[in-house]
Amino acid sequence: MKDLERRDDVKLYLKLPNWFIVPTPIGEYNPDWAIVMEPRDENGKPTDDQLLYLVRETKDTTNLNELRPDEVRKIHCGARHFEDALGVSYKVVTSAKELP
């Protein structure tokens, strides 16, 4: 959380509450974070591009082979829901350093 607060390109972040549920074929899924970022150019200056809307799942590893099978299935369903259906960037990360 402190890493997100230190970034001036992060305009808003919130831990998604337990009631924020995405229904999936394998059960309910509650992703970890919603983040709104201001795009920056290679010099770190804000661009005129639209804000980035992100959903991030935090795990100890980004290697899905190291996670429990039910976690992996929910991550795949989350990706389909957010990216394919809503056009929102979704990714598993281990820290804020992995944001764009």
Rg (CA), the chain: 14
Structure pTM? Answer: 0.84
Q: Please, which residues have CB within 8 angstroms of residue 62's CB and are 6 or more apart in sequence? A: 92, 93, 94, 98
Cα 38 from Cα 35, distance rounded (Å)? 10
Tell me, what's the pLDDT at 80? 93
Tell me, what's the pLDDT at 29? 93
Tell me, what's the pLDDT at 97? 86
Tell me, what's the pLDDT at 68? 93
As averages over each run of 10 residues, the pLDDT of the chain (100 residues) reads 87 95 91 94 88 93 94 94 92 90
Segments making up each domain of the chain, as ranges:
2-98
